[in-house]
Amino acid sequence: MAEIKYFVGKEANSMYERIGGKREKALELFDYNTEDEILNYFCKAKNSEKINYVPLLKFWREKNCVESVQKKLKVGNIYEIHFDFTDNLKKSVTNICSLCANTDVLCVGKGFRISVEGRLKESVCPIIKEMKIGRMEIVQKIVESWLEAIQGFCKPNLARLDDLPFKFLLRIVDACVNNPENAIVLHQFFCADDFDMRGWLERARIWKSIINPNERLSFCAQTVPIAGVDSDFSTDDFIKKLKLTALLASAKEELYEIYFIP
């Protein structure tokens, strides 16, 4: 597998722009983020969110996990992986409505982009109709800008669009924007062995029918069994555990099941 470059955000220095810090002189020549930089960003700069990112950081930094995804999705080598990513899109009004949720993970390879939504459990996300309550005009403008970004990948049923969870649509945008080739949206569930995907998959099939994708856009979901993480860890203990302990319950490829949404 080709060497993968890791980033927080779009490029190596963007994480420092967000947190108002300064990159160490010794790291300025690196055009990617080091493991320590990534851990510091998620475990210190974004301390309140650290638990949610544990499985994502572990999974996407494990060579066998990345190779498994490439194999199951039948794509080429992933050469860039971006954590907490947002691409160039007209989102100037998005933050007003709290509709701007950065992609958890964005994978880039030759001819494809994979937008990843990671979950520790099946959380409830508001649908577009609910987001419009009290702010109809501005949310409608945001949705229209999203539809413009994905127009080469699908022909949505506009009469049913308000029934989509807004994050489901936004993950599509992240996979498609500034992408001249193929887009994949991957929903990852980090869960116990007995997690039942059937209910979510049935809803996802309905959401996909609303989007009506062409051959350039595909959707899938993956279950990844993990061991428990104690949310009461101090930051230092947490970083030590993340570095030294395999948090995934097993590294066996067959456990990383991927469900393609027909």
Q: Indicate whether 96 pLDDT > 50.
A: no
| E strand map for 181-243 | 182-191, 217-225
Which residue has 């991927």 as its token pair? 258
List the end-to-end C-alpha distance of the chain, in Å, as a whole number: 29
Confidence of residue 252 (pLDDT cuts 50, 70, 90): very low
Whole domain around residue 160: which residue ranges?
Answer: 5-260
Which pLDDT score, from 0 to 100, does residue 59 have?
86
Q: Is 181 exposed, middle or buried (0-12, 13-18, 19+ CB in 10 A)?
A: exposed
Which is nearest to 213 in space by CA: 205, 221, 223, 202?
205
- Tokens for 249, please give them: 């319950």
Across 68-104, b (16+ Cβ under 10 Å) vs e yields bbbebbebeebebbbbbbbbebebeebeebebeeebb
> 251 vs 25, which has greater pLDDT?
25
227-243: average pLDDT:
59
192-202: average pLDDT:
80
pLDDT tens profile 28-84: 888 888 888 887 777 665 555 556 677 788 889 888 889 889 998 999 999 999 998
| Count of the separate structural domains present in the chain | 1
Which pLDDT score, from 0 to 100, does residue 58 have?
81
Q: Cβ neighbours of residue 145 under 8 Å, at least 6 residues apart?
A: 89, 90, 91
